[in-house]
C-alpha cells in the first residue's frame, strides 16, 4: 500500500510531463523530442538556483520558463527554418545537454543537507500525503488552465492547426505562431515536471531526461487504449491515470528484483507492447478496459 | 470597382532545368465587383495554378497580383485570408475533422482577425447566428452544432465549407472544382447553393470547374485556359447563346486535341 502511494506521487509528476508531450504529439500532430532535453533543463535550472539559496518556488518557475524557451527554439527551428519536426527536437535536445552541464557545472547536483525544496519548505507538505495532495492540486490547476486555454481564440486556432493546417491558413490563422505557442507550453510543462522530479528525488542529473518520451508516450497510449475517444479535458485526466498506472507497473517490476540498469530496456519493451496490443488483438484492449475499471474501484 | 487584378503573371516550374515549364504565361486578368467568373481548361492548363497563385499558396515567378488596388503579391495565404476565402476540391480540406461544426464555423467567423488569448473561441452570442446560417443550408445540421465534423458526409462538409467561406463576406471567393469530388446529385445541390450564396451576397467569385454545363450555366463570364494562357474570354452575352457542343468545338480548336476524361462529365 505504501509503495502504491509513493508511486502515485511520482506518477502525478510524470503526468505533467506526459500532458506536455501530448500537446505536441496529438494536438499539433508533431513528434517533438525536445522533451528529452527540456526535462533535465527544468531540473538543472531549479537545482542550481535552489542550492545557491533561491526561493524554491521561484526556482521551480524558472525551471518551467527555461523549458518554455527551449520550446520556442524548437518551434522556431521547425516553422521558420523549416527543419523537419523530428530533427528540430534532436537538435535542441543535443544542444541542451551541454547547456544543462553548463548550468549545473557538474553532471549532477544533490540536495543533501538542509536544502529547501517546494516539498519540504512547508512542513505540511513534507509528508507523503502532503506531497500527493500538493501534486494532485497542481495537476488539476494545470489541466484546468489548459482546457480553458484551448477554448480561447488562440487555443481553438492551435487545435485547428494540428487538425488541418491547410484549412487553418485559409482561415487566416498564423500557423507558425500557433505551433510555437504550443511548443512553448508543452516544453514548459515537461521542464516543470523535471524540476519537481529533481526536488522529490533529492538530486538533478544530466542524464535524467533519457527515457522521458517513452514514459510519456506509454502513459498517453495506455490512456488512449482504455478510453478511445475523449474530450480534451477528459483525455488529460485519463493521461494522469495512465501515468500513475504505468508508474505502478515500473515499481512492481523493481519490487520483483529486476536490475534497475535494465529499467530503460523495460520502458522501451513496454511501449512496443502498448503500441502493438491494439493492432494484435482488439479483444485484449477490451480486457485492459475492464481491468482498468476494477483498479479504479479497488482504489 | 476592380476587386482582383493580375498583371503579367508567370508561373515557371523547374526553372533553369531541362524540364522548365510555364504553368502560367504572361497572364492578365481583372475581376470587377460582383463578377462571377467560371474557368475551364484541360489537365495542366493552369487552372489550379491560377487559383493557388491568387490565394497565395504559390509564390509567383514574376508578375503582380492586387486585391482592391492593394498589391498582395508577397503576402502569404493567412494574410490574404482577410480578403479571400476558398472552397477546396477535397471536402476534407476545408474543415477540421476533429473539431465540432460549431468550432469550425467559429474559426471562419474569425477569419482575417488576430486571434487573442482573452477572447473565447466559441462565443455564446454567435450561437444564434451560426444556427440560422446552418438552417439556410436545409441539411438539418442546425441541431448538430456540437457534432464532430468528421461524422458528416462529403456533401455536408462541402456545404459547410461554403458557408464558412461566406460567413464573413469575403472580397473574393475562390472555388476550386469544389463539386468534382461529390456524386452528381450532391454536386448539383452544392452548385445551386453556391449560386444562391454568391447572388445573395453579391460576391465576386472565381470558379474552376471541369463541368462545362456548370461553366455555361453559372456566372457572368467564362474563361478557357490552355497551356497557361487565357485562350477564350466570353462575357455574359456571348455566354448566353453558348452550348456545350459549341464549347467543345472551341476547346478542340485551341487544344488541337479532343477532350479525354472531361467529355465523360458532359451531361
Summarised one tens digit per residue, pLDDT across range B89-108 is 999 999 999 999 999 999 99
Record: contact A172-B94, CB cut-off 8 A: no
Q: What is the pLDDT of residue B27?
A: 94
* Burial category of A200 from C-beta neighbours within 10 Å (exposed 0-12, middle 13-18, buried 19 and up): middle
Determine the 3-state secondary structure of A269 from DSSP.
helix
In chain A, whose CA is at the least distance from the CA of B165?
Answer: A171
Cα-Cα end-to-end distance for chain B: 36
Contact B110, A153 (CB under 8 A): yes
- Residue partners of B149: CB distance under 8 A and separation at least 6: B95, B96, B97, B98, B99, B100, B101, B104, B157, B160
Instruction: Using a pLDDT cut of 90, give the percent of chain A over it.
Output: 67
What average pLDDT does range A130-142 have in this prediction? Answer: 93
What average pLDDT does range A40-61 have in this prediction? Answer: 94
Chain CA centroid to CA B114, Å? 24
The domain segmentation of chain A, as residue ranges, is 2-207
pLDDT band at A228 (very low <50, low <70, confident <90, very high): confident
| Residue B47: pLDDT over 80 | yes
Lowest mean pLDDT among A148-152, A225-229, B9-13, B100-104: A225-229
With b meaning 16 or more CB within 10 Å and e meaning fewer, what string describes B89-106?
bbbbbbbbebbbbbbbbb
pLDDT band at B74 (very low <50, low <70, confident <90, very high): very high
Q: Which of B52, B75, B78, B108 best tests the A interface by mutation, with the highest count of A CBs <10 A?
A: B78
| Residue A286: pLDDT over 80 | no
d(CA A72, CA A94): 16
Q: Give chain A positions within 8 Å (CB) of B164.
A: 171
Which residue in the block uniquely carries the three cell numbers 526553372? Answer: B15
Contact B72, B65 (CB under 8 A): yes
Q: Is the dihedral of CA A28, A29, A32, A36 positive or negative?
A: positive
The residue with greater pLDDT, A284 or A20, is A20
Q: Residues of A at the B interface (Cβ-Cβ below 8 Å)?
A: 149, 151-157, 159-160, 163-164, 166-175, 178
ipTM: 0.88
pLDDT band at A123 (very low <50, low <70, confident <90, very high): low
Mean pLDDT for all residues in chain A: 90
| Residue A299: pLDDT over 50 | no
Question: If we measure between CA atoms, which residue out of A26, A67, A72 comes closest to residue A217?
Answer: A26
Chain CA centroid to CA A82, Å? 25
B21-32/A203-205 β-pairing: unpaired
**Strand-pair partners of B64:** B7
Instruction: Using a pLDDT cut of 70, give the percent of chain A over it.
Output: 91
Q: What is the pLDDT of residue A282?
A: 66
The residue with greater pLDDT, A118 or B207, is B207
| Candidates A152, A172, A173; nearest CB to B120 | A152
- Name the grid cell of B255: 487544344
Q: What is the pLDDT of residue A114?
A: 63
Contact A214, A271 (CB under 8 A): yes
Q: What is the pLDDT of residue B236?
A: 86
Q: Which of B99, B121, B176 best tests the A interface by mutation, with the highest count of A CBs <10 A?
A: B121
**Strand-pair partners of B221:** B37, B235
Amino acid at each position: 500500500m505504501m509503495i502504491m502511494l509513493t508511486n502515485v506521487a511520482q506518477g502525478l509528476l510524470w503526468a505533467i510531463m506526459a500532458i506536455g508531450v501530448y500537446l505536441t504529439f496529438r494536438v499539433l500532430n508533431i513528434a517533438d523530442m525536445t522533451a528529452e532535453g527540456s526535462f533535465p533543463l527544468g531540473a538543472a535550472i531549479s537545482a542550481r538556483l535552489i542550492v545557491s539559496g533561491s526561493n524554491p518556488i521561484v526556482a521551480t518557475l524558472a525551471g518551467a520558463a527555461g523549458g518554455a524557451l527551449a520550446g520556442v527554439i524548437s518551434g522556431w527551428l521547425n516553422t521558420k527554418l523549416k527543419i523537419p519536426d523530428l530533427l528540430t527536437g534532436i537538435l535542441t535536445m543535443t544542444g541542451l545537454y551541454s547547456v544543462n552541464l553548463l548550468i549545473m557545472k557538474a553532471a549532477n547536483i544533490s540536495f543533501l543537507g538542509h536544502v529547501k525544496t517546494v516539498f519540504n519548505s512547508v512542513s505540511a507538505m513534507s509528508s507523503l500525503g502532503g506531497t500527493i495532495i500538493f501534486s494532485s492540486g497542481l495537476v488539476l490547476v494545470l489541466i484546468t488552465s489548459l482546457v480553458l486555454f484551448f477554448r480561447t481564440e488562440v487555443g481553438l486556432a492551435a487545435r485547428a492547426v494540428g487538425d488541418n493546417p491547410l484549412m487553418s491558413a485559409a482561415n487566416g490563422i498564423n500557423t507558425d505562431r500557433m505551433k510555437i505557442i504550443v511548443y512553448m507550453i508543452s516544453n514548459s510543462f515537461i521542464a516543470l515536471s523535471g524540476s519537481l522530479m529533481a526536488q522529490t528525488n533529492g538530486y538533478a542529473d544530466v542524464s535524467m531526461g533519457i527515457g522521458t518520451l517513452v514514459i510519456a508516450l506509454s502513459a498517453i497510449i495506455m490512456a488512449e487504449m482504455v478510453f478511445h475517444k475523449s474530450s480534451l479535458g477528459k483525455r488529460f485526466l485519463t493521461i494522469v491515470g495512465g501515468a500513475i498506472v504505468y508508474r505502478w507497473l515500473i515499481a512492481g517490476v523493481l519490487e520483483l528484483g529486476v536490475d534497475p540498469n535494465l529499467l530503460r530496456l523495460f520502458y522501451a519493451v513496454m511501449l512496443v507492447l502498448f503500441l502493438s496490443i491494439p493492432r494484435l488483438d482488439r479483444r485484449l484492449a477490451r480486457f485492459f478496459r475492464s481491468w482498468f475499471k476494477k483498479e479504479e474501484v479497488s482504489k | 470597382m476592380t476587386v482582383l487584378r493580375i498583371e503579367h503573371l508567370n508561373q515557371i516550374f523547374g526553372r533553369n532545368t531541362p524540364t522548365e515549364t510555364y504553368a502560367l504565361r504572361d497572364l492578365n486578368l481583372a475581376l470587377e465587383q460582383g463578377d462571377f467568373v467560371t474557368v475551364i481548361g484541360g489537365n495542366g492548363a493552369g487552372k489550379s495554378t491560377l487559383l493557388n497563385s491568387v490565394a497565395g499558396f504559390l509564390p509567383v515567378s514574376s508578375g503582380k497580383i492586387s486585391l482592391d488596388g492593394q498589391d498582395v503579391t508577397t503576402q502569404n495565404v493567412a494574410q490574404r485570408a482577410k480578403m479571400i476565402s476558398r472552397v477546396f476540391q477535397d471536402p476534407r480540406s476545408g474543415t477540421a475533422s476533429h473539431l465540432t461544426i460549431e468550432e469550425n464555423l467559429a474559426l471562419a467567423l474569425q477569419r482575417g482577425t488576430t486571434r487573442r488569448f482573452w477572447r473565447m473561441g466559441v462565443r455564446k452570442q454567435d450561437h444564434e447566428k451560426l444556427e440560422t446560417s446552418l438552417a439556410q443550408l436545409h441539411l438539418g445540421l442546425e441541431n448538430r452544432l456540437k457534432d464532430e465534423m468528421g461524422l458528416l458526409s462529403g456533401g455536408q462538409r462541402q456545404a459547410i465549407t461554403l458557408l464558412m467561406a461566406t460567413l464573413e463576406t469575403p472580397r473574393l471567393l475562390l472555388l476550386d472544382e469544389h463539386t468534382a469530388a461529390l456524386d452528381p446529385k450532391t454536386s448539383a445541390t452544392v452548385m445551386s447553393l453556391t449560386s444562391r450564396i454568391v447572388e445573395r451576397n453579391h460576391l465576386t467569385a472565381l470558379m474552376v470547374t471541369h463541368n462545362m454545363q456548370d461553366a455555361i450555366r453559372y456566372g457572368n463570364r467564362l474563361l478557357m485556359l490552355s497551356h497557361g494562357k487565357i485562350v477564350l474570354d466570353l462575357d455574359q452575352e456571348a455566354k448566353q447563346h453558348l452550348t456545350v457542343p459549341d464549347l467543345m468545338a472551341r476547346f478542340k480548336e485551341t487544344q488541337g486535341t479532343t477532350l479525354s476524361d472531361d467529355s465523360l462529365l458532359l451531361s
